[in-house]
Amino acid sequence: MQLQRSWRLWTAWLAVALSVALLRPNLARAQDSAAEALFEQGRSLVAAGRVSEACPKFEESQRLDPGVGTQFNLADCYEKVGRIASAWGQFKAAEALAKAQGQSERAAVARARAEALVPRLSRLEILVTAEAQFSGLKVTRDGVEIGKAQWGVAIPVDAGEHRVTAAAPGKLPFDRIIQVGVSAKEALSIPPLEDAPKEALARPLEGQGGDTSDSGAGRGGARLGLTLGLAGVSVAGLAVGSAFGLSALAKNRRSEDYCSGNECLAEGAKVRNDARFAGNVATVGFVAAGVLGGAAAILYFTSERSSGPSLVTEVSLTSAALQFNGSF
């Protein structure tokens, strides 16, 4: 009987794995179709002179289905809207991808386009003096972290405004917006960060031990969420118990065609074993529904008298039992 159950379990897992394997090509084809549609829409927008609207289409198409052609069109789109550094980076990436795919002619075209943009590049150099290099210092440009290797290097950026920040533990943050002109080179120095006031450092700690209204609300929300979750699982247990209970009854009636009392033919023994298994699962479902429903009721009716939930559950499914341990 244990062997039959193991076989059924492995069969179920095999069915799931097969379903996923069959689904993946469909998902891939759907992504390919979406990428192609976005690419064509981007080309149409460029032809209509709506270039700024075309770039996001190429971006999403490239994300869904990376390709040299899409990347080349994205780079060309960036160049048309004046994002020279972004265009230069995409042409370089297109060159590398074309080389990897053995498309030497495309790689040469992409390289030539990238080289033609070099004189037009705007650059931003972020300087961090030794005095400013605190432990844990994090520098970002437009929300992207700038690693230490990039400090002091004139990095190509698109012309326009760029936000540079610096932060370190126990220090006041640095936040600056710098304007970088077309084909210009700008530099920004990160000064030594000032120590944060002791009051600012202590305030979070005081909040933890002082006003508890927010934490009380958080506990109330957690309690409500736990109550609703237990109630939902209880309903699911009822559904599972009912479904398997009906299945057990049907299988048991069917086994009577092959059995006389406790004497059964091979087919009858198999059907009767299946009926027992379905009955065990139904029992587990009903027991789980009752226990979890009761726990949800306790949490609900004691919500006004308790400071927060402390429910601990452990559920163990066996062939004929559900183990539930809880404390309130």
**Residue carrying structure tokens 């789980």:** 288
pLDDT < 70 positions in the chain: 1-30, 200-224, 227, 230, 233-234, 237, 240-241, 244-245, 248, 251-272, 275, 278, 282, 285, 289, 292-293, 296, 299-328
Q: What architecture does CATH give domain 17-119?
A: Alpha Horseshoe (1.25)
User: Got the DSSP string for 121-170?
Assistant: -EEEEEEE-GGG--TT-EEEETTEE--GGGTT-EEEE-SEEEEEEEE-TT
Q: How does pLDDT run across 14-41, given as a tens digit for each residue?
A: 544 544 444 455 555 667 789 999 999 9
Q: Rounded CA gap, 54 and 78, in Å?
A: 10
Q: Rounded CA gap, 285 and 248, in Å?
A: 13
Looking at residue 258, its pLDDT comes to 59
Q: What are phi and psi of 254, to 5 degrees?
A: -65, -35
Looking at residue 301, its pLDDT comes to 64
Q: How does pLDDT run across 134-192, given as a tens digit for each residue?
A: 999 999 999 999 999 999 999 999 999 999 999 999 999 999 999 999 999 999 999 99
Q: Which of 152, 296, 196, 159 lies closest to 236 in space, CA to CA? A: 296
Q: Rounded CA gap, 194 and 159, in Å?
A: 30
Domain ranges within the chain, ordered by starting residue: 17-119, 122-197, 222-325
For the domain made up of 122-197, the CATH class stated in words is mainly beta
Looking at residue 313, its pLDDT comes to 45
Please, which residues have CB within 8 angstroms of residue 55's CB and are 6 or more apart in sequence?
A: 42, 74, 77, 78, 81, 83
Please give the distance of CA 211 from its chain centroid, rounded to a whole number: 34
